[in-house]
Amino acid sequence: MPHITVKCFKGRTEEVKKKCADRIASDVAEIMGCDISSVSVSVKEYEKDEWKPQVWDTEIAPEMDSLYKKPGYSC
């Protein structure tokens, strides 16, 4: 651990998703003081019309008070 899930709209290449996951894993390992082999990263993609019901309404809005980085948009 830690495990990070990146949720985004569909359409990015496998290369971009891999680069993002690698960079996140590297930064998390460095900042949290753990071995990079302990970090896992997944990328979950959504259609634009799925974002509000499947991500915003269920994960972002209900957890707003505990988000360390809040979104600069609303749904």
Q: Which residues are part of the catalytic machinery?
A: 2
Q: What's 67's DSSP letter?
A: -
The span from the CA of 53 to the CA of 59, in Å, is: 10
**What's the half-sphere exposure (Cβ side, CA atoms, 13 Å) at 56?**
13
